């Protein structure tokens, strides 16, 4: 594509706003007419992890300054609703009868000013009859206390219950020369979007609800809010202003958002809600939270022949999407980039008295990758071979036609060995190993660790396509309507690049509209690394069709045959072959069509299936063997997301992904005390990573286009997280391999590392 803008490092169109006046988030909607006189909602939340509610006394709280009303589930007439992924589990949007985790909303306080709510909420007295608290997944599996009694078990979802085969046990490894077992904790983490949740709800005189929300998917939220409020489809509008991050946790609407319409209706006034960080840390969904029992077997020469895993997925105190990521995301990706003849995976999702688990950047695939990569390292250590070389002999060879794995997942294209080769070369792996050997020989306090991971993941696996609409205004601008929903990714830039590439309209004359269900009724939102390969491709297709539609109109206006009309992208105008002086611009066409509904092209793009980005990461850490402290020295990443639209945006996604992945490996963990009280509910206690803990990342590009869409693009939103976590974790363990250390669970905190070194000393290593 000579002269195309695609593939260039185009600066973000949205940045001048974010860097100067700043974004407009839900809480910034100060001049919205529908929200004039809005009351402020503050939720009264459970302070205990598991209990029957015996009474709720709001009388003192009603006297608190500024309080207008306080509603419980009973006041709002809330009926129990079933969990999507296990309809036997039920709850009311505001807890009634029972609370199941600290932070669960019980009542809502409405005040005149925002700062009055917390004082009043403190005065609502909830009496509890406490029940056995189940925080540990394995304890919950065997306990006779059931968090959802109607389920008859704390196991709320099991892969075998939906017909997936059970694991056969150790007999699968009977013919293996080497068998290694491991128990890995893929710990619970908090997504921590910098903008916490916020929403506002207002009813107009026609009984129509408008709700503003910080969400990744306005159309999905509209549908669930419509159901929650029992509305006809035309009686609901959801609007997404700027959104300050989501990471998967803002895909679905939460109880606070689903109940806000009913609250506003009962109060007879619009209502606004903004949670605090401490609330967000306990009531926004969490991610990961798996225990993985893994067995890997093969030959002494290094060929892996069998792999078996039982995943125990912590579902938290609801059956949200987190309960089904294990069977539908972790399981199919369990063997990753490796050609393993025998593989079995069972997943068991378990309710606990903790914050419900949802999707979080990678959503099931980082867990799969972490398990197989740890297993591969332990297998390599057992046979005394280099971790990178054992990987190499087990990789699926390069394929440009679809490849199906033993477990039944079909990948689009892959060249895993090339990504491994590139990353090892860029990291200078041989030299790193030599330096490691020298440090070991010298007995240095600061030991070097080198971690390698090779991964493949699945993107856009959960959706079948996306719609796009392009409208040409009478001044020749293009407005792109998209069903995706950017919250940091840069779609305004990307979609403008794609539309400009086809239409010749300069990027500064292209606007992008999303997240308002009146303006964009159809859309799949932004999640699962789907946006470019579905929403972007939809814009690409729509722009191509728009040019063809315009050519017809131009032919009519120029009184020529359509096939004689040339589209000149340089001048963004149409003319008859040989007479460029007489041309019709986009503005001309739009004006000419004004009475016929304007110049608009709408496209429903149907996807040809998921794509499978892959890559390899090398992480280098230094471990202080006296204190256990880990310092990340380097991180080299080779990620192949297919054809690259804008390397600047790609690198941004990779950088952020590596940071979040490294954070899980090194620092982050949501923790509870024995009574189920969260003890990491602010950024002082929860070790949200910062730039100071990270090196500059080294990013190596590799492009293997997918045949599954016209742009050749795969997703890149989550790859960085998937590749980096096991590389960083393995690097920490590798630094101590010579002491006999084979595994340390994440996060590899200094004390955990130090304790492991002490254990080896006791063993005499």
Partner 1 sequence: MIPAQFDLKRASSAAEAISLIGEYGDEAKLLAGGHSLIPLMKLRLAQPSMLIDIGRITDLSYIKDAGNHISIGALTRHMDVEKSDIVKQHVPLLAHAASHVGDAQVRHRGTIGGSLAHADSASDLPATTLALGATYVVQGPNGQREIAAKDFYKGFLESALAPDEMLVEIRVPKTLGGWSFQKFNRRAQDWAIVGVAAWRNGKDSGVALVNMGSTPILATSVSAALASGASIAEAAELAAAEAEPQSDLNASSEYRTHLAKVLVRRALEESTK
Q: How far is the CB of 693 from partner 1 (least distance, A)?
A: 6
Tokens, residue 282:
């306990």
How many residues of this chain bind partner 1 (CB under 8 A)? 30
Residue 749 within binding range of partner 1, rule CB under 8 A = yes
- Name which of 358, 458, 462, 410 is nearest 722 in CA terms: 458
Q: Applying CB under 8 A, which part among 149-157, 192-200, 252-260, 751-759 lies near partner 1?
A: 751-759
In the complex with partner 1, the residue whose CB is nearer, 181 or 752, is: 752
Residue in 75, 112, 119, 602 binding partner 1, rule: CB under 8 A: 119
In the region spanning residues 626 to 645, those forming contacts with partner 1, defined by CB under 8 A, are 626-627, 629
In the complex with partner 1, the residue whose CB is nearer, 46 or 154, is: 46
Residue 276 within binding range of partner 1, rule CB under 8 A = yes
In the complex with partner 1, the residue whose CB is nearer, 339 or 693, is: 693
DSSP states along 83-112 = ETTEEEEEE-SS--SEE-STT-EEEEEEES
Tokens, residue 310:
């039982």
In the complex with partner 1, the residue whose CB is nearer, 45 or 237, is: 45
Cβ–Cβ < 8 Å for 532, 538? no
- For the chain, state the CA radius of gyration: 28
Taking the C-alpha atoms of residue 522 and residue 483, their distance in angstroms, rounded to an integer, is 6
Residue in 75, 118, 382, 418 binding partner 1, rule: CB under 8 A: 118
**Any idea what DSSP says for residue 8?**
S
In the complex with partner 1, the residue whose CB is nearer, 82 or 445, is: 445
In the complex with partner 1, the residue whose CB is nearer, 281 or 351, is: 281
Taking the C-alpha atoms of residue 722 and residue 391, their distance in angstroms, rounded to an integer, is 17
In the complex with partner 1, the residue whose CB is nearer, 181 or 277, is: 277
Q: Applying CB under 8 A, which part among 140-148, 459-467, 606-614, 625-633 lies near partner 1?
A: 625-633
Taking the C-alpha atoms of residue 464 and residue 605, their distance in angstroms, rounded to an integer, is 9
- Name which of 127, 61, 204, 120 is nearest 518 in CA terms: 204
SS3 readout for 212-265: EECCCCHHHHHHHHHHHHCCCHHHEEEECCCCCCCCCCCCCCCHHHHHHHHHHH
**Environment class of residue 36 by beta-carbon count within 10 Å: exposed (0-12), middle (13-18) or buried (19+)?**
exposed
φ and ψ at 659, to 5 degrees? Answer: -60, -45
What residue has token string 């903004």?
Answer: 274
Strands 304-316 and 342-351: parallel
Site string for partner 1, 640-669 (x = CB under 8 A): ---------------------------x--
In the complex with partner 1, the residue whose CB is nearer, 114 or 739, is: 114
Residues in the chain: 765
Residue 117 within binding range of partner 1, rule CB under 8 A = yes
Cβ–Cβ < 8 Å for 742, 381? yes
Residue 174 within binding range of partner 1, rule CB under 8 A = no
In the region spanning residues 281 to 310, those forming contacts with partner 1, defined by CB under 8 A, are none
Residue 278 within binding range of partner 1, rule CB under 8 A = yes
Q: Applying CB under 8 A, which part among 69-77, 273-281, 487-495, 533-541 lies near partner 1?
A: 273-281
Taking the C-alpha atoms of residue 303 and residue 178, their distance in angstroms, rounded to an integer, is 10
Tokens, residue 245:
């991050």
In the region spanning residues 563 to 602, those forming contacts with partner 1, defined by CB under 8 A, are none
Site string for partner 1, 673-702 (x = CB under 8 A): ------xx-x-xx-x-xx-xx---------
Q: Applying CB under 8 A, which part among 118-126, 368-376, 509-517, 539-547 lies near partner 1?
A: 118-126
Residue in 63, 204, 518, 751 binding partner 1, rule: CB under 8 A: 751
List contacts with partner 1 (CB under 8 A): 65, 114-115, 117-119, 122, 276-278, 626-627, 629, 667, 671, 679-680, 682, 684-685, 687, 689-690, 692-693, 749-751, 754-755
């Amino acid at each position: 594509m000579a002269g195309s803008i695609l593939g260039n490092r185009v600066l973000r169109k949205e940045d001048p706003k974010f860097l100067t006046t700043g974004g407009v988030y839900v809480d910034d909607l100060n001049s919205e007419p529908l929200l004039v006189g809005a009351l402020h909602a503050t939720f009264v939340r459970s302070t205990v992890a598991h209990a029957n509610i015996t009474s709720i006394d709001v009388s003192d709280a009603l006297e608190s300054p500024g309080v207008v009303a306080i509603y419980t589930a009973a006041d709002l007439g809330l009926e129990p609703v079933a969990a999507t992924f296990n309809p036997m589990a039920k709850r009311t949007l505001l807890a009634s009868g029972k609370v199941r985790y600290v932070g669960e909303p019980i009542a809502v306080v409405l005040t005149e000013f925002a700062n009055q709510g917390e004082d009043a909420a403190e005065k609502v007295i909830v009496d509890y009859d406490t029940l056995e608290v189940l925080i540990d997944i394995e304890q919950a599996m065997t306990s006779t206390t059931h968090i959802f009694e109607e389920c008859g078990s704390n196991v709320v979802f099991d892969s075998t219950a939906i017909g997936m085969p059970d694991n056969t046990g150790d007999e699968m490894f009977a013919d293996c020369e080497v068998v290694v077992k491991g128990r890995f904790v893929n710990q619970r983490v908090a997504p921590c979007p910098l903008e916490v949740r916020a929403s506002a709800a207002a009813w107009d005189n026609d009984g129509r609800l408008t709700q503003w929300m910080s969400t990744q998917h306005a159309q999905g939220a509209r549908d669930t809010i419509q159901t929650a409020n029992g509305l006809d489809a035309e009686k609901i509008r959801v609007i997404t202003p700027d959104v300050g991050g989501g990471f998967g946790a803002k895909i679905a609407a939460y109880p606070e958002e689903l109940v806000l319409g009913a609250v506003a209706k009962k109060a007879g006034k619009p209502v606004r809600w903004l949670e605090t960080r401490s609330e967000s840390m306990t009531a926004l969904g969490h991610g990961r939270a798996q225990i993985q029992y893994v067995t890997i077997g093969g030959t002494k020469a290094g060929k892996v022949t069998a792999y078996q895993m039982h995943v125990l997925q912590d579902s938290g105190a609801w059956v949200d999407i987190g309960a089904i990521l294990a069977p539908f995301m972790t399981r199919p990706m369990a063997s990753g980039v490796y050609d393993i003849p025998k593989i079995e995976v069972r997943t068991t999702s378990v309710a606990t008295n903790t914050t419900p688990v949802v999707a979080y950047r990678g959503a099931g695939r980082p867990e799969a990758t972490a398990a197989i990569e740890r297993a591969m390292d332990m297998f390599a250590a057992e046979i005394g071979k280099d971790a990178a070389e054992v990987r190499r002999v087990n990789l699926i060879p390069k394929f440009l036609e679809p490849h199906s794995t033993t477990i039944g997942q079909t990948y689009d294209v892959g060249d895993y060995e090339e990504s491994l080769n590139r990353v090892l070369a860029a990291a200078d792996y041989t030299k790193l190993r030599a330096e490691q050997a020298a440090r070991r020989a010298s007995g240095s306090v600061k030991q070097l660790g080198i971690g390698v991971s090779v991964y493949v993941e699945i993107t856009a696996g959960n959706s079948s396509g996306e719609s796009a609409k392009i409208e040409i205004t009478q001044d020749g601008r293009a407005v792109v309507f998209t069903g995706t929903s950017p919250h940091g990714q840069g779609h305004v830039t990307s979609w403008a690049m794609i539309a400009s590439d086809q239409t010749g309209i300069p990027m500064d004359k292209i606007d992008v509209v999303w997240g308002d269900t009146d303006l964009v009724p159809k859309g799949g939102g932004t999640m699962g690394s789907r946006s470019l390969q579905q929403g972007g491709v939809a814009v690409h297709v729509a722009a191509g069709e728009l040019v063809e539609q315009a050519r017809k109109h131009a032919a009519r206006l120029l009184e020529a045959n359509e096939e004689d009309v040339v589209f000149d992208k340089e001048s963004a105008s149409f003319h008859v072959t040989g007479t460029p002086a007489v041309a019709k611009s986009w503005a001309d066409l739009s004006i000419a069509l004004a009475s016929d509904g304007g110049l608009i092209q709408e496209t429903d793009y149907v996807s040809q299936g998921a794509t499978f980005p892959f890559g390899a990461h090398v992480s280098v850490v230094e471990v202080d063997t006296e204190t256990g402290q880990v310092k990340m020295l380097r991180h080299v990443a080779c990620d192949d997301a297919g054809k690259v639209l804008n390397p600047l945006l790609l690198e941004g996604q990779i950088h952020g992904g590596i940071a979040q992945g490294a954070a899980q490996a090194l620092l982050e963990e949501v923790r509870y005390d024995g009574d189920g009280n969260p003890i990491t509910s602010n950024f002082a206690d929860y070790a949200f990573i910062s730039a100071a803990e990270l090196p500059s990342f080294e990013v190596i590009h590799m492009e293997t286009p997918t045949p599954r869409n016209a742009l050749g693009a795969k997703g890149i939103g989550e790859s960085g997280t998937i590749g980096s976590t096991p590389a960083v974790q393995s690097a920490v363990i590798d630094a101590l391999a010579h002491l006999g250390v084979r595994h340390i669970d994440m996060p590899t905190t200094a004390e955990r590392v130090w304790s492991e070194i002490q254990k080896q000393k006791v063993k005499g290593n």
